[in-house]
Amino acid sequence: MDQADTTSLDQSTDWNQKSSSQPRKLTQIETDKLSRDNVLVSEFKQNKLELEAKKNWDLFYKRNSTNFFKDRHWISREFAELVDAPHQNKDSPGRNLVLLEVGCGVGNLVFPLMKANPSLYVYACDFSPRAVQYLKDNRDYSSDRLTAFQCDLTSDDLTSVIPAQTIDLVTMVFVLSAIHPDNMTYAVRNIHSALKVGGIVLFRDYGVNDHAMLRFSKGHKLADCFYVRQDGTRAFFFSLEFLGSIFTEAGFEVISNEYVFRETVNKKEGICVPRVFVQAKFIKNG
């Protein structure tokens, strides 16, 4: 399964969205498929994937440039805080709200959001240096409102670029799933250090039993709920319990945490498939 296979599903038309605290119930055929997929990728190859993670994402953007992902205009619908926020920070009169987008890619979320809310100042970072350069080359990039930089959340200190405890809102949209589960808590703690007290993380990513998870063929499984695509990029599929534990261990409190179910029509392939995402909000309370 390659990157296009996963993301082509995300580019389709969604119908019948609903939320739930319980995971999607699998059919017997789906259950049998997952139970048969019990051979993991070798430790040698897994270590190689970890070492080459940045290179693999950089190659992804080299192949696809800025043309792969659609602009994420839906983000302001799902997280009203991003557009309904006051023009100035109530705790610091005269200071605009400050957003950190982690995993910014080439700007498919940040540029529509900046147009929707002219009051935001944005820090945007990505694992891929090439993606960050594409974002900076965008004609809408303005250093007066946006600072973009390359960052590995699992090793680089965000506060070396961003003053500690100054961020009001963080968006994490389909980014934590690309990180090895062993490194997720560190990455979230990294974000915690940049957030001000009362700051909120707005989160959306792949959920367990998503159709994309079931499409992986044998030979792509790294661990439970963790898979590698043909291009070497990886994808983790979250349960609510696992996601909540990562954030609480990193010092956050849960505001909301739920599955989002969607019936997605892929017109190109002529199929209707069940998508599962996790959508959550976490707050730093000290």
Average pLDDT, the chain: 87
Taking the CA atoms of residue 110, residue 210, residue 264 and residue 216 in that order, the dihedral angle to the nearest 10 degrees is 100
The per-residue pLDDT for 39 is 93
Helix, strand, or coil (residue 133): helix
| Cα separation, 84 vs 251, whole angstroms | 26
Length of the chain: 286
Taking the CA atoms of residue 137, residue 141, residue 143 and residue 149 in that order, the dihedral angle to the nearest 10 degrees is -60
Rounded to 5 degrees, φ, ψ at 62 are -65, -40
Indicate if the pLDDT at residue 204 is higher than 70: yes
Tell me which residue of 237, 183, 226, 229 sits closest to 40, measured CA to CA: 226
Question: Using one digit for the tens of pLDDT, what is the confidence trace for 147-185?
Answer: 999 999 999 999 999 999 999 999 999 999 999 999 999
Question: Using one digit for the tens of pLDDT, what is the confidence trace for 26-75?
Answer: 999 999 999 999 999 999 999 999 999 989 888 887 887 665 555 576 77
- The residues that bridge with 121 in the sheet, in sequence order, are 98
The distance of Cα 86 from the centroid of its chain, to the nearest Å, equals 25
| Cα separation, 94 vs 72, whole angstroms | 29
Residue type, 155: S
DSSP state of 225: T
Indicate the pairing of strand 167-173 with strand 146-150: unpaired
Question: Using one digit for the tens of pLDDT, what is the confidence trace for 208-253?
Answer: 999 999 999 999 999 999 999 999 999 999 999 999 999 999 999 9
Q: Which residue, chain included where needed, has tokens 């973009």?
A: 148
Angle between the 53-64 and 43-51 helix axes, to the nearest 10 degrees?
A: 60
Highest mean pLDDT among 107-121, 186-200, 266-280: 186-200
